Structure 1
Amino acid sequence: MTNASQPKDRQTMNPQTIAIVKSTVPALQAHGEAITSHFYKIMFEGHPQVKAFFNEAHQAAGTQARALAGAVIAYGAHIDRLEAIAGALPRIIQKHAALGVLPEHYPIVGHYLLRAVKEVLGDAATDEVIAAWGEAYESLAGLLIAAEEAVYSANAAQPGGWRGTREFRVARREDESEVITSFYLEPVDGGALLAFTPGQYLTLVLEIDGQPVRRNYSLSDAPGKPWYRISVKKEEGGRASNWLHEAAAVGTRLQVQAPCGDFVLQPAGEQARPLVLVTGGVGITPAMSMLESVAHTGRPVHFVHAARHGGAHAFRARVDALAQRHANVKPLYVYDAPRESDTPHATGFVTRELLAGLLPEDRDVDLYFLGPKPFMQAVYANGLALGVPKQQLRYEFFGPLEALEA
C-alpha cells in the first residue's frame, strides 16, 4: 500500500486555499451534520446508483452523516498538517477498496458535497470558499485514488487474487446459533484463493429486489482453507442479512470483492504477548478467524465472549474444542439474560473486575475487542483504566467509526 500518511500533493496547495479552509472550520462545526445529511439526500436523488455503496441502517440512524461531518471537519482543521489525521486514512482506503470505489465516483461526491455546503451555509459560502474547498477536495481525492489503486493492484498481483468482483458459490451453510449462520464460499472458476489476514472482511455485491446492495462481512475462519467463510447475523430489518438467511441456499452464486480491512491480527514475533479477544454478539466473527489462526501456536489466548443467552451464542462448541486441544486457549463466556439450561462462566456483563482477573500484572497484552458500540466503549474504558497500553488496544466498529470515549 502507498504511504498515505505522507501525502505529497498537500505541499503544492495554495496557501490562500489552506487559510480559507481553516477559517471555515467553525462554521462546519456548527452546521456539519446538516451539510452532510443534505449531501446524502441530494446525491442519492441525482445519482441513485451510488446508494449501493452505503448501508441504509447507518443512513437512517444518522451515524453516516455524523461520521462524514467529523471527517470533513478534521480534514479542514488539519489541512496544513495531515500527518495528524493519517491514522484514519488506512481504514478509509481499505473500506473504499473493499466496496469497489473507483476514480469516477469522486467527482460525483465532490459535486454534491460542495453543493450541500453552498445550500446549507448560504451567503457565508462565498465563491472563494467553494473554490478553496474544491481544491482541498481534489487534493484529498487524488491521494485516496492513488492509495486505493495500490490496494487493487496488489490484490490482483497476488496468487489467487483478482480485481473487481469474482463469482463464488455457496458450498455449504451451517447454523452457528439461533441468529447467526455461516456461509462457506468457493470460487466458481475453481482457482486458488487470495490469502487474507485474520480480521479482514469480504464485500458481497448483491442484487435484492432489483436494487444493488454492497455489504461487508468478516471472514470467520483461518486463512489457507479452500473456502472463505462468513458468518452473518440475521438483523431485524437487515436487507442483506435477511436475504442471505432466507435466499442464499447451497449453490447460490454471489459476486465477491477481494478481502480487505486494516483491523488485523498483528504479527506476534518471537516473544508473543498474551492475546485477549473480547467480543459481544456477532463481533465474535473476526475473532474466530484470529483464534483459529493462533490456537495451535502456543500463544496464550483469553477468549471472552458476551451473549444474551446460549441460543444467541455462536461457535461455542468450536471454541470449546479448540480449548480442549490447546491448553493455551482459555474461554470465558458471559450471558446477561441466561436461559435455565445455560452454563455461562459468568452472568451480567464484561466488567472491569472480570477483565482484571485475566490480565497479567504488567498488563502487557494485545487486547482486541469488537461488539455493539456501548460494549466497545466499556471495554475500551476498562482496558485503559486497568493499564493496558493504548497502542495495544485494537478495535474496529462495524459501522461508521465514532469516538469510543463515552
Structure 2
Amino acid sequence: MLSTTEIGLIKATVPILREQGLLLTQHFYKRMFQHNPELRNTFNMGNQQNGTQQTALALAVLAYAENIENPGVLLPVLQRIGDKHTSLQITAEQYDIVGKHLLASIGEVLGDAATADLITAWAKAYGQLADLMINLEKSIYLQKAAVKGAWTGWRKFIIDKKVQESEEITSFYLRPEDGLEVSAHQPGQYLSIKVFVPALGIYQPRQYSISSAPSAEYYRISVKREPGNEQKESGTVSNYLHDQLLEGDVIEATTPAGDFVLNINQTTPLVLLSGGVGQTPFVSILDFLTKSDQQRQVKWAHACRSESVHAFREQINAWQSEHDWFEHIVFYENTDLASKENSLSKDTRTGRMDVAEISEMLLIPEAEYYLCGPKPFIEKTMKDLSALGIDHKKLFFEEFGPQTIQMN
C-alpha cells in the first residue's frame, strides 16, 4: 500500500505528466526497444511510428496518477487494456521489463526533479498497477480457456478464402490448420493475428474486428488496405495481407477478444453509427441478429467516402429488405455523376454524416448507441449525439488502434 506521503508525491507529478507525459513515453519506448528488441515482435510498430501508442500510454499514466487514491475507478479502461494484452499473450514477466524501463525513463526525463523518494513512490505505484493488471489478465485467460473451442497461445489458421468486398476492403476467411473447432466469438469482438513481415524482419500483431456471425468452424476478418500519403505511412500489415498472402497461406491468431460486444440477452433497441471500415463489427452483429431473428429494433447509419469503397452493400440492403426491424442509411462524402443523375435512394445521403439531419431516425429513448470508426469520426459523432441530449452513459465506442479518446 502507498503511504500518504507517497500518494502526495505521485499526485505532485500530475502537472508534469500533463506537460511532459508524451516526452516521457516516447523516451520510454525508445529505451525499452533498445534494451529489449525482442519486444518489437509483440508491439504494433506502426502505432509506434505514428505516435498513437505513445499518446495512449501518456494518457493512461496521467489517469493513473490522477486517480492514485482510488484506481478502481479506472477498471473499465483497465479491462479493455487487459483484453488487448491477453489477445497479444502478454505475460507477467513482461510487466517487470516495462516497469524497469518506465522507472528509468522517469529518472532520465525528469532529471533532478526525480528524487529518490519520488522514484520509490512510483516504483510502489507501478507495482500496485502491475499486480492489478496481472491478476485481471489471469482471470481473462481463465475465462477464455473455459469457452468451448478455445485455445491458448498462438494458433495457426489457413486463409481458406479471400473475397474483395470493395476497392479497399478484402475479407479473409480463416479456418484452423488443425481442423478442430474454434470458440464462437461474441458479436463485435476482434481477432489478434500475427504475421512475419520480411521487410521488417519481425513478427507483427494486429487486431481486426470479426465480420461474421459466431461460428465454431471459421472466422472472417475484413481488412482495409491502408495506402500511405504525405501525412501517414502505408499500412505495413494491411498491405502485406492484401498483396502478399494468398488462399492457402497460414497466419497465426489468438482467441477472440474485446468488450465492444452485443449483449445477446437484452432486447434494447440499438443505434449503430460507423465510419469507413468501422462497419465491420456491426456486420458481425447484424449477421448474428438476422440469423437468430431476434426482432430487435436496429438503426444503422454509416459514413464512407464513396460507393466504390462501401463494403457489404448488397448484403446490408438484403438484410434491410428482409427484416422490418432493421433500417440502414449511408452517407457518401463523394458521389459519382451517374448516381447524381439517377438520384440517390431514400437510404442514401451525400456529404459527411450529419446526425442532426437523421435525428428522427436515431432518437430512441431506450436505445443504446454504438460507435466505431476513426478517432475524428467518433469524437464528432459523440459531440453531436450529446447536443441532441443523448446521455453519454448510453454511448459505447471502439476506436481502432490504441485508445486516445477520453469519455468525459
Is TM-score (shorter-chain normalized) higher than 0.5?
yes
CA shift digits 1:335-383 (9 cap, x unpaired): 01112234461001111323312134x5321111111111111211111
Q: Report the Cα distance in structure 1 between the residues aligned to 2:407 and 2:338, rounded to whole angstroms.
A: 36
Deviation at 1:225, TM superposition (A): 5.2
Q: Secondary structure at the match of 1:363?
A: coil
Aligned match of 1:100 in 69, 73, 89? 89
1:112 matches 2:114: no
- What pairs with 1:73-84 in structure 2 (closer than 5 Å)? 73-84=62-73
Question: What secondary structure, in the 3-state scheme, does the structure 2 residue paired with 1:357 have?
Answer: helix
Contact 1:364 1:388 (C-alpha < 8 Å) held by counterparts: no
Q: Over residues 378-405 of structure 1, what are the superposed CA-to-partner deviations in whole Å (9 max), with x where a residue is unaligned? A: 2111111112222211101002212357
Q: Distance in 1 between matches of 2:205 and 2:221?
A: 15
Q: Does 1:309 align with 2:306?
A: yes
Match of 1:90 among 79, 87, 94: 79
Could you tell me how far apart the structure 2 residues matched to 1:404 and 1:320 are? Answer: 34
Query: Does the alignment pair 1:189 with 2:215?
Result: no
SS where residue 128 of structure 2 aligns? helix
Contact in 2 for aligned 1:167/1:188 (Cα 8 Å): yes
**1:268 Cα deviation (Å)?**
4.9
Equivalent-residue separation in structure 2 for 1:50 and 1:161 (angstroms): 25
Q: How far apart in 2 are the matches of 1:91 and 1:150?
A: 13
Q: Distance in 2 between matches of 1:50 and 1:376?
A: 31
CA separation in 1, counterparts of 2:245 and 2:90?
25
Report the counterpart of residue 353 of structure 1 in structure 2: 356
Name the aligned partner's letter for residue 361 of structure 2. Answer: L
Q: Do 2:275 and 2:377's aligned partners in 1 also have CA atoms closer than 8 Å?
A: yes
Give the conservation status (yes or no) of the 8 Å contact 2:295–2:325: yes
> Is 1:216 the equivalent of 2:207?
yes
DSSP 3-state at the match of 2:274: strand
CA contact (8 A) 1:364 1:389 kept: no
For the residues of structure 2 that align with 1:374 and 1:81, how far apart are their CA atoms?
A: 31
Q: What's the counterpart of residue 250 of structure 2? A: 253
Structure 1 counterpart of 2:388: 386
1:138 corresponding residue in structure 2: 127
Unaligned segments of structure 2, at least 5 residues? 228-233
> Who is 2:281 aligned against?
286
Does the 8 Å CA contact 1:168/1:188 hold for their aligned counterparts?
yes
Letter in 1 for 2:286: L
Matches within 5 A, 1:144-223: 144-209=133-198, 210-223=201-214
Q: Is the counterpart of residue 18 in structure 1 residue 7 in structure 2?
A: yes
1:244 aligns with 2:241: yes
State whether residues 118 and 125 of structure 1, in contact with CA within 8 Å, keep that contact through their aligned partners in structure 2: yes
CA–CA separation in structure 2 for the residues paired with 1:358 and 1:405: 24
1: distance between equivalents of 2:17 and 2:384? 33
Structure-1 separation of matches of 2:12 and 2:373: 38
Amino acid in the other structure paired with 2:357: L
Aligned to 2:365: 363
Give the secondary-structure state (helix, strand or coil) at the position aligned to 1:104.
Answer: helix
Structure 1 gap segments, 5+ residues each: 1-11
Residue pair 2:40, 2:202 contacting (<8 A) in 1 also: no
Indicate the SS of the match to 1:117.
helix
Task: For residue 156 of structure 1, report the CA deviation from its aligned partner.
Answer: 1.8
In the TM superposition, what whole-angstrom CA distance separates every residue of 1:15-74 from its partner, at most 9, and x where no partner exists?
332222122222222211111111111111111121233333322232221221111111
Higher alpha-carbon deviation: 79-88 or 41-50: 79-88
**2:210 is matched by which residue type in structure 1?**
L
Cα shift readout 1:67-100 (whole Å, capped 9, x = no counterpart): 2111111111211111232221111111111111
Q: Conserved in 2, the CA contact under 8 Å of 1:274 and 1:365?
A: yes
Separation in 1, partners of 2:101, 2:33: 10
Partner of 2:219: 228
- Once the two structures are TM-superposed, the CA of residue 319 in structure 1 deviates from its matched residue by 0.5
Q: Aligned pair count?
A: 392
Q: Which amino acid aligns with 2:82?
A: I
Other-structure match for 1:129: 118
Tell me the distance in 1 between the aligned counterparts of 2:312 and 2:155: 28
Q: TM-score scaled by structure 1?
A: 0.93
C-alpha distance in structure 1 between counterparts of 2:134 and 2:68, whole Å: 18
Superposition deviation, residue 13 in structure 1: 3.1
Is 1:329 the equivalent of 2:326?
A: yes
Per-residue deviation, 1:141: 0.7
Q: Residue type matched to 2:68 in 1?
A: I
* Residue 231 of structure 2: aligned partner: none
Counterpart of 2:358 in structure 1: which amino acid? Answer: L
1:266 shift after superposition: 2.3
Contact 1:377 1:404 in 2 (8 A): no
CA contact (8 A) 2:88 2:192 kept: yes
SS in 2 for 1:217: strand
Equivalent-residue separation in structure 1 for 2:61 and 2:320 (angstroms): 46
Structure 1 window deviating more from structure 2 (150-159 vs 34-43): it is 150-159
Deviation at 1:321, TM superposition (A): 1.2
Look up the equivalent residue of 1:171 and give its one-letter code: D
Q: Which amino acid aligns with 1:228?
A: Y
